[in-house]
Structure 1
């Protein structure tokens, strides 16, 4: 049995069918609030409603599992807290897994994770990485960039009502994005491939500027314009939004980090190790998420 923590989230929804299709029995752990559980009664997937703040839920989730994939995150969800999910929840789940005799854990992390990271989210991810590295279990840490499909959805949210594509900051900084499908494919591979055991791997799909992404979207739909949130506005929001919208504040902080150029990384060496995993780039993601203008 493979446990997928955050199995109803964006990454989990991509990974669970891959695991089931490869013949694994899968258990999904999720709260079931932001996304409902899928109808999986017939395909070997067991839904388990649980919360990472609960020791009992974590113990129940790992019981009988040989491996666990931590794919949950509190960063991109309003009303959630990365400290509670990405740090404390991850540590709680890893501890429960080790005590239950789980053999292997795969931790989905983020490029830039460090105890002294420039944003709190990266510090949380570093703490989660430390927990798996010292757990006594076999482990893999997969550091990804911002999820390409998630970024496209955010940028195109005002397209239909306003004809605008949203760009945070100047849009000139290079960012290495990771496709959801590519991240899930490597997590699947980590279950069985010894080459991925006990290591940290940086896993990207394509490096682009936000302006390049926006222009690709506009070219596909054939109309619209860019709506830009200036860097100065990001800096202001990162401070003043904290009391009433922690979500907006941390998104703004992430935008400032991206503006620094530090979100770009060299992803080709890791890809060269696993050339059989296809690269999902912007053109493929656009084809799935952004309807093409007809006529």
Structure 2
């Protein structure tokens, strides 16, 4: 049995799908709030409504499991935050997994995770990584870039409603993105391949600028224009929005970090080590999104 925490989210669903295709029994733990539990799941899936703030829920979730995938995150959820999910929740669950003698923990993390990281999200991820390393359980830390599908969704929603594609900052800073499909593939590979055990791996799909993403979106849609959000506005929002919208403040802070250029990383060596894991192309993601129609 593999426990997938956050299994109803974008990445978690992809991981669950691949595990089921491999004949694996899966237990999903989620709150069922930001992403509601499906009414019906495939055979081989056990649903557990649980809270990462509860020791009892974490202990129940890991009971009888051989592996654990932590794919939950509080960054992009308006009624949550990284400190309760990505840091405290992750640490609580890892400790429960160690006590239950789970054999392998795969922790989803982020490029740039560090105790002195420039944004709180990266500092929270670093704390979770430290908990995994010191747990006494076999582990794999998968650091990814910003999820490509999530970023494209953020850009295309205003295009459909207002005819504009938002670009944060100058749009010229390189950012490494990881496709959900690629991230899920390396997670499932880590669960079965000893070559990925007890190590950190950074996994990317493409390094692109905001301008390049916007051009691709507009080219496929065949209409619309770019709406720029200046870096100065992001800096103001990262501070001013905290009292009324911590979510918006987090997004603005991440935009400032990306503008620095340090959100890009080299992933060629890792992909060369595992060449059989395919790279999902930008155009493929655009086509599969179904949100942009066809270009004219």
- Match of residue 237 from structure 2: 237
TM-score normalized by structure 1? 0.98
Is 1:143–2:139 an aligned residue pair? no
User: Is contact 1:30–1:48 with CA below 8 Å preserved after alignment?
Assistant: yes
Query: Which runs of no fewer than 5 residues in structure 1 stay unpaired?
Result: none
- Match of residue 178 from structure 1: 178
SS of residue in 1 equivalent to 2:207: strand
Matched residues in 2 for 1:100 and 1:157: separation? 43
What is the deviation of 1:294?
Answer: 6.0
Matched residues in 1 for 2:252 and 2:295: separation? 35
What is the deviation of 1:69?
Answer: 0.3
Q: 1:94 to 1:119 in 2, by over 3 A?
A: same
What is the deviation of 1:282?
Answer: 1.1
- Match of residue 28 from structure 2: 28
- Match of residue 119 from structure 1: 119
Is 1:188–2:200 an aligned residue pair? no
- Match of residue 12 from structure 2: 12
Matched residues in 2 for 1:109 and 1:196: separation? 15
TM-score normalized by structure 2? 0.98
Q: 1:102 to 1:283 in 2, by over 3 A?
A: same
Aligned length: 295
- Match of residue 47 from structure 2: 47
What is the deviation of 1:292?
Answer: 3.4
Is 1:293–2:294 an aligned residue pair? yes
Root-mean-square deviation (Å): 1.0
Which of 30-39 and 147-156 deviates more?
Answer: 30-39
User: Is contact 1:40–1:46 with CA below 8 Å preserved after alignment?
Assistant: no
**What is the correspondence of 1:151-162 to structure 2 with a 5 Å cutoff?**
151-162=151-162
User: Is contact 1:15–1:184 with CA below 8 Å preserved after alignment?
Assistant: yes
